[in-house]
Amino acid sequence: MKKISIITLFLVGFQLAAQTLQSPSGSVKLKFSLVNGKPSYEVFYKNKTVVNPSFMGIKLKEGNDLTAEFTVENNGQKVVNETWQPVLGEQSSIRNNYNELTLNLLQKPTKRKLNIIFRVYNEGVAFRYEFPKQPNMNYFIISDEVSEFNLTGDHKAFWLPGDFDSQEYSYMETRLSEVNTENIDMNNGIGLKSIAGKYVVQSPLMMKTSDKVYLNIFEAAVVNYPVMHLDLAPNDFKLKSRLVPNAIGDKAYLQAPCVSPWRTIMVSDDARDIVSSKMILNLNEPSRIDDTSWIKPMKYVGIWWEMHVGKSTWDYAGSQNAQNAADGKLKPTGKHGATTENAKRYIDFAAKHGFDGVLVEGWNAGWEDWFGNWKENVFDFTTPYPDFDLKAVNDYAKSKGVKMIMHHETSGSVSNYERHLDRAIDLMKKYGYPAVKSGYVGRIIPRGEFHDGQTMVNHFNFVAQRMAENKLMVNSHESSRPTGYSRTYPNYIAAEAARGNEFNAWSNGNPPMHETILPFTRLLGGPMDYTPGIFEIKMSAYDPNKKTEQVHTTLAKQLALYVTMYSPLQMAADLPENYEKHLDAFQFIKDVAVDWQESKYLEAEPGDYLTVARKDKRSENWFVGAITDENARNTEIKLDFLSPNKKYKATVYEDGKDADWQKNPKSYVIKTIQVTSKSKIKLHLAQGGGAAISLTPIN
Amino acid sequence: MKKISIITLFLVGFQLAAQTLQSPSGSVKLKFSLVNGKPSYEVFYKNKTVVNPSFMGIKLKEGNDLTAEFTVENNGQKVVNETWQPVLGEQSSIRNNYNELTLNLLQKPTKRKLNIIFRVYNEGVAFRYEFPKQPNMNYFIISDEVSEFNLTGDHKAFWLPGDFDSQEYSYMETRLSEVNTENIDMNNGIGLKSIAGKYVVQSPLMMKTSDKVYLNIFEAAVVNYPVMHLDLAPNDFKLKSRLVPNAIGDKAYLQAPCVSPWRTIMVSDDARDIVSSKMILNLNEPSRIDDTSWIKPMKYVGIWWEMHVGKSTWDYAGSQNAQNAADGKLKPTGKHGATTENAKRYIDFAAKHGFDGVLVEGWNAGWEDWFGNWKENVFDFTTPYPDFDLKAVNDYAKSKGVKMIMHHETSGSVSNYERHLDRAIDLMKKYGYPAVKSGYVGRIIPRGEFHDGQTMVNHFNFVAQRMAENKLMVNSHESSRPTGYSRTYPNYIAAEAARGNEFNAWSNGNPPMHETILPFTRLLGGPMDYTPGIFEIKMSAYDPNKKTEQVHTTLAKQLALYVTMYSPLQMAADLPENYEKHLDAFQFIKDVAVDWQESKYLEAEPGDYLTVARKDKRSENWFVGAITDENARNTEIKLDFLSPNKKYKATVYEDGKDADWQKNPKSYVIKTIQVTSKSKIKLHLAQGGGAAISLTPIN
């Protein structure tokens, strides 16, 4: 008996032999080992450890956990170097280049198989769990995932509290050891908060080591699985996956064969490698839509910001209780924004200035008591208010060559939305709406579910699929944050899923550094409908006595955001009358492209600044956006991205010398110069400021 | 200060003055009092107490409970005596005659209002809570209801365990003091059990006192509210409402103004008053369907029993795992029941024998691993198996003048069903299906919900409404049990929601007394699709080596069930080939009506026997059904319900002299006699037996 034990030990010892894999460039290295039957990995960047040995595994609700007692039965490597063309994107062609290692693990006592797949890219490592088809595991319930990310030091981190229902926070910038969700100012305008604990943070988590190495922990291809937050041990800088539970505490219901999402660790000593990485998109499946000709980028205006600033309301009958309306009839307050007349005004404005679409929120019955009551049957998504003539508005839009954008606020009642979805889609098709903006403000129904749980992830993906079947585009707000699924369903053109510009209208707002962090975090997963373009920076303009809020940027920075915040769907969010007052600056919003041939990140430092140049997919025009945080900044950018031997007219929209986001946000200067690829342009960015440049070839 | 206290006490004393209300006949009396601010009621029958003082009230999740600190602000009485015509029913006209008392209660500390409404009928008392529109209560969550039913003794009770997911039990017949759900044989074929506790029983709860008074506690108009089970204190015979919770333990989400369901206490010293009562229907709202011309009674056959007896299968590819099918293609086993060919065979049989419809179960993809996995996406309700040609089958049925009945098994995945419902309805309309049989076998998704919770109650009612909007009828199986909602949505023509005949095919079956209890319990709430008519009583006929189960009745009793188990939708559940062997007995199933002019309960004793005579709504024909339990029975029935001065041909289908449900179930005799309203007919009912009579006027 003893002899056999020794032999077994020898085999286990053999299993300890580590497997390594490096990136195509050689700078990133992955090491996998079985430590006493437990899977473990390490990550190195330029031969320095960036992730210490970290265990991996899955806990099951029933039966043995898939965390230990493993042997490696087999392993295989693969090299992939391919390119693909996104339907819409920051660049017309994306390279997908990685080395892959698959470990076929066997848990001998249970005869269960688990594969772990690693991919090593030049900018980081990804791994996922694969549950192959097998006799001893078919349906199973994940009670926990124990993917560790054991960091090597007390890095600086840009973090959001681990909230199962919202990502609409400002970023905290602290050392890992200082993370504590109790230190967050919760008077921040977020209506629904479900914070998981003191030391739980959201992914993507952007970090910087004291060696000036940038690290980012995130996930890709979250499909039929909950969102992963991160449990932090603040004393030893260890992170562990924290999956979002469902109503009864389970994490995921799966059936083999299937896979988990990818867990990603991006790493570089150049922040531009992170912000420009297409790793998250690359880790998603190719498009499942064959004919994508109907998926089109859009610039739009809409009846929306005027409600945020208090000029009008979503609801028709004020803060009455819809259910209690006398004689079942609502009495209008006269402040309703979504009237036929007002819609026509926006359509006129869109047509005049060349916008593709007009969004109208508040068009449909139900807004009287839509929020905060956990009410199931709020909207039916098909009944307009009496003062909104669906047919007249759509006919008028058609006559002007403008598309209407549908709006579906669910108020979190997903059961109700799914029940009505087909009818809502029929209505969209009847009137020719090409896209819908959906909203999920409020506690989820089915009750007990969170925005970030498997049920809701599946819902968001289901809506994308169902809309795709009907050739409709989706822009979801208050959804779980995207993880690259827009590669698979490119009609999922944008999402909010972060703190958007509207928080500036009625809360403590978005601090000036906010937009310099989003491209390193939220935007890695897909386009964001941030709704920039606010020219009337101070809300006191709408009510000098009551409103003190303001946008935390200069006007010029609002222009720059059209370039720095990538999205194929961009809103010019301010009111037509505010644009009329600054038609010279508005020209940039009219000119800027939203779908790109290529993108060059020129300067990047999370929390500080970002400068990017992008080339229009449909012309030879380039656009540059540069933003800074609360600190003023002078920079000089080289235009060597321009085609050589060509002359360009550069229109530079810059902060005025006296500009300052707080004191003088509307000071800007516009200058026109002639440039070539050899030119440099000096830019002055005010505190909370930015600059935007359009570059047009001169024939 | 003291003086004021005394005055207050005096007012409270004044409030103690009881309010009483009696039934139109005077035999039932209700007394309401406020006992130290707590609402309380008592019920008397023929001047004897049948419900001792019992508290009433509602507990709220947030804020003060609505159980105490009340004063009566106002009260009003009302007398109602009206008749209404059900679309389908046991009688063509229903009298609704009651006295009503409304108590307007005020909870002074919270300024909240609660109304309690009592209705006293000749056969019992009903009460409900009404939450009027008020400033201090709009949205609210019910955490508990504390309606007590304090009984006066250790009555005999016919009870089912309080199970949040199933009513498919056989009845236990014990004293209240002997109730204990742990004593139930759980090897009873029920796939999903969620028993709430040792002393929790279901309503309706049928009882009999030692004074031979019959009592029944139930509820009516369960709309936007969970099902009420009953918590029993077995030592002092006190019952208390036990509402079914949702995934997070809440009971109901409501918005004022609104009402609770009615709580009903039926009482009589004649069991026929209970079994014939229309109180539950009367307590529901009138029909919300204006044009009901498309709602039609149906007798049907179908591809169903052959799966229960093991002759064929629902699934196309045996017990394979659908998700793992090689090349995505299922390999047929050859045992699939729902083939085009077999459907045509049933259509031929239906057409030949004058049946209205043919049900086909197992027609659609997904049955390979549909059960027991808590799987969300099982069926899409529109994709037929490759061997079932939807168009060919429906064309053939049309050519034969037969309607097809659609089948939607949800496997409990209600989220998935609601997502697909509109498309499923479109398919039904495309092919002309007039009705759907729906199924809810398995754990509910949204996960954590129960079949009997508010979410599911709302689902069942939603489906009825949605089908009504599309002029389609519904017959739900494994739904929560009906509480008279078919008055409001008469297209909800039937439900199962109790232990049906199929349990006889593969479990310990339904004991002979089962069908003598259902009319006193389950059927009070609405028609049941019991699926009678099994002629091949012993399952050994299908597999002599393996199958030992049998139906626990004689063949003649199977005929009687068409009369005793009221439903406007009745299946002839057995296989065509079994009917072909007994065409003489089958004649009764062909002849029997399913929608009635009037119904006369001639004899009734719960758990023992039941005899009922019904007159066809569309002819002068009468039909009589008589059944007994495990004891043989001889009876003589008077035909004084027949029109005087008319002669009738009576065809009597009776147990043979040697008949016995166990030893000789297929022994029956058929005789034809001429009768008038002055005639009497002697009937012999074997052990587990029954008799059926058709009475046709002789012109």
List, in sequence order, the alpha helices (H) in B247-370: 271-275, 279-282, 305-308, 340-353
Instruction: Read off the pLDDT of residues B57-115 as tens digits, 9 standing for 90 and up.
Output: 999 999 899 999 999 999 999 999 999 999 999 999 999 999 999 999 999 999 999 99
Per the CB < 8 Å rule, is A247 touching B250?
no
Selecting from A246, A255, A458 the residue whose C-beta is nearest the C-beta of B323 gives A255
SS3 content of chain B, % helix, strand, coil (to 5): 20, 35, 45
Instruction: Read off the pLDDT of residues B175-205 as tens digits, 9 standing for 90 and up.
Output: 999 999 999 999 999 999 999 999 999 999 9
Asked if residue B4 has pLDDT above 70, the reply is no
pLDDT of residue B330: 86
Backbone dihedral angles phi then psi of residue A670, each to the nearest 5 degrees: -125, 125
The answer to whether A133 faces chain B, any CB pair under 8 Å, is yes
pLDDT of residue B258: 97
Across the range B2-29, mean pLDDT stands at 65
Per the CB < 8 Å rule, is B139 touching A374?
yes
The answer to whether B455 faces chain A, any CB pair under 8 Å, is yes
pLDDT of residue A321: 73
Q: Which amino acid is at B18?
A: A
One DSSP character per residue, A11-68 reads HHHHHHS-EEEE-TTSSEEEEEEEETTEEEEEEEETTEEEEEEEE--EEESSSS-BTS
Per the CB < 8 Å rule, is A255 touching B375?
yes
pLDDT of residue B150: 98
Per the CB < 8 Å rule, is A419 touching B462?
yes
* Residues ≥6 apart with Cβ < 8 Å to B426: none
User: Which of B542, B567, B608 lies closest to B272 in space, CA to CA?
Assistant: B608
The answer to whether A132 faces chain B, any CB pair under 8 Å, is no
User: Which of B611, B674, B605, B678 lies closest to B641 in space, CA to CA?
Assistant: B678
Instruction: Read off the pLDDT of residues B209-264 as tens digits, 9 standing for 90 and up.
Output: 999 999 999 999 999 999 999 999 999 999 999 999 999 999 999 999 999 999 99
- What are the tokens at B302? 């179908």
Provide the ipTM: 0.94
To probe the interface with B, which of A410, A447, A457, A459 has the most B CB atoms within 10 Å?
Answer: A447
pLDDT of residue B322: 72
Shortest CA distance from B463: residue in chain A? A419
Catalytic-labelled residue, pool A123, A168, A478, A502:
A502
Q: Which amino acid is at A532?
A: P
Per the CB < 8 Å rule, is B139 touching A375?
yes
pLDDT of residue B17: 65
Instruction: Read off the pLDDT of residues A291-306 as tens digits, 9 standing for 90 and up.
Output: 999 999 999 999 999 9
Asked if residue A187 has pLDDT above 60, the reply is yes
One DSSP character per residue, A234-261 reads TTTTEEEEEEPP-TTS--EEEESSEEPP
Q: How confident is the model at residue B3 (pLDDT cuts 50, 70, 90)?
A: very low
Across the range B542-569, mean pLDDT stands at 97
User: Which of A459, A453, A552, A545 lies closest to A507 in space, CA to CA?
Assistant: A552
- Other beta carbons within 10 angstroms of residue B311's beta carbon come to 14
pLDDT of residue B510: 98
Sign of the torsion formed by the C-alpha atoms of A189, A190, A193 and A196? negative
pLDDT of residue B603: 98
- Other beta carbons within 10 angstroms of residue A294's beta carbon come to 12
pLDDT of residue A433: 98
The answer to whether A380 faces chain B, any CB pair under 8 Å, is no
Distance of residue A422 Cα from the nearest chain B Cα, in angstroms: 7
DSSP structure class, residue A171: P
| Rounded Cα gap, residues A696 and A692, in angstroms | 13
Asked if residue A14 has pLDDT above 70, the reply is no
The answer to whether B133 faces chain A, any CB pair under 8 Å, is yes
CB A414 within 8 A of CB A444: yes
Instruction: Read off the pLDDT of residues B145-176 as tens digits, 9 standing for 90 and up.
Output: 999 999 999 999 999 999 999 999 999 999 99
Per the CB < 8 Å rule, is A138 touching B321?
yes
- What are the tokens at A160? 């959001």
Distance of residue A372 Cα from the nearest chain B Cα, in angstroms: 10
| Rounded Cα gap, residues B687 and B665, in angstroms | 9
CB A692 within 8 A of CB A624: yes
Shortest CA distance from B245: residue in chain A? A447
Contacts of B415 in chain A (CB under 8 A): 415, 418, 446, 455
To probe the interface with B, which of A244, A255, A381 has the most B CB atoms within 10 Å?
Answer: A255
| Rounded Cα gap, residues B339 and B388, in angstroms | 5
Contacts of B455 in chain A (CB under 8 A): 415, 446-447
Asked if residue A520 has pLDDT above 90, the reply is yes
pLDDT of residue A326: 62
pLDDT of residue B611: 98
pLDDT of residue A699: 77
Across the range A554-571, mean pLDDT stands at 98
- What are the tokens at B439? 């199924």
Asked if residue B556 has pLDDT above 50, the reply is yes
Selecting from B133, B373, B415 the residue whose C-beta is nearest the C-beta of A139 gives B373
Exposed (0-12), middle (13-18) or buried (19+): which is B672, by Cβ within 10 Å?
exposed
- In A63-198 the beta strands, taken as DSSP E runs, fall at 70-84, 94-107, 112-121, 124-131, 139-145, 148-151, 156-159, 172-175
| Rounded Cα gap, residues A13 and A655, in angstroms | 65
| Rounded Cα gap, residues A512 and B493, in angstroms | 63
| Rounded Cα gap, residues B149 and B145, in angstroms | 12
The answer to whether B319 faces chain A, any CB pair under 8 Å, is no
What 3-state DSSP class applies to B73? strand
Contacts of A139 in chain B (CB under 8 A): 373-375
Question: In whole angstroms, how large is the CA radius of gyration of chain A?
Answer: 26
Instruction: Read off the pLDDT of residues B619-676 as tens digits, 9 standing for 90 and up.
Output: 999 999 999 999 999 999 999 999 999 999 999 999 999 999 999 999 999 999 999 9
The kind and range of the H/E element at A464 are helix A454-469
One DSSP character per residue, B368-395 reads GG-SSS--S----SS-B-TT--HHHHHH
Instruction: Read off the pLDDT of residues A584-594 as tens digits, 9 standing for 90 and up.
Output: 999 999 999 99
To probe the interface with B, which of A415, A455, A457, A469 has the most B CB atoms within 10 Å?
Answer: A415
- Other beta carbons within 10 angstroms of residue A427's beta carbon come to 18
Distance of residue B247 Cα from the nearest chain A Cα, in angstroms: 6
Asked if residue A628 has pLDDT above 50, the reply is yes
Asked if residue A7 has pLDDT above 80, the reply is no
Q: How confident is the model at residue A116 (pLDDT cuts 50, 70, 90)?
A: very high
pLDDT of residue A518: 98
pLDDT of residue A276: 98
Q: How confident is the model at residue A17 (pLDDT cuts 50, 70, 90)?
A: low
pLDDT of residue A3: 39
User: Which of A679, A675, A659 lies closest to A667 in space, CA to CA?
Assistant: A659
Per the CB < 8 Å rule, is B422 touching A423?
yes
Shortest CA distance from B466: residue in chain A? A419
- What are the tokens at B100? 């009503």
The answer to whether A139 faces chain B, any CB pair under 8 Å, is yes
Active site residue A502: yes
Per the CB < 8 Å rule, is A139 touching B374?
yes
Instruction: Read off the pLDDT of residues A399-450 as tens digits, 9 standing for 90 and up.
Output: 999 999 999 999 999 999 999 999 999 999 999 999 999 999 999 999 999 9
Across the range B450-456, mean pLDDT stands at 98
Distance of residue B160 Cα from the nearest chain A Cα, in angstroms: 27
Lowest mean pLDDT among A229-233, A653-657, B367-371: B367-371
| Rounded Cα gap, residues B686 and B668, in angstroms | 10
By DSSP bridging, strand A569-571 and strand A298-303 are parallel
pLDDT of residue B318: 80
| Rounded Cα gap, residues B663 and A349, in angstroms | 87
pLDDT of residue B149: 98
- Catalytic residues of B, which ones? 502
- What are the tokens at A582? 């600054």
| Rounded Cα gap, residues B387 and B347, in angstroms | 17
Asked if residue A126 has pLDDT above 80, the reply is yes
Asked if residue A88 has pLDDT above 80, the reply is yes
Laid out side by side, the sheet with B58-60 consists of B58-60, B139-145, B252-255
Laid out side by side, the sheet with A148-151 consists of A19-22, A28-35, A38-45, A48-55, A148-151, A238-243, A228-233, A200-202
In the numeric block, the tokens 């009945």 are attached to B405
- Other beta carbons within 10 angstroms of residue B684's beta carbon come to 18
In chain B, what percentage of residues exceed pLDDT 70? 96
To probe the interface with A, which of B164, B415, B427, B466 has the most A CB atoms within 10 Å?
Answer: B415
Asked if residue A528 has pLDDT above 70, the reply is yes
Laid out side by side, the sheet with B435-439 consists of B494-495, B473-477, B435-439, B403-409, B357-360, B298-303, B569-571
Asked if residue A15 has pLDDT above 80, the reply is no
Average pLDDT, chain A: 96
- What are the tokens at B416? 């998935």
In the numeric block, the tokens 């009696």 are attached to B22
Backbone dihedral angles phi then psi of residue A37, each to the nearest 5 degrees: 85, 0
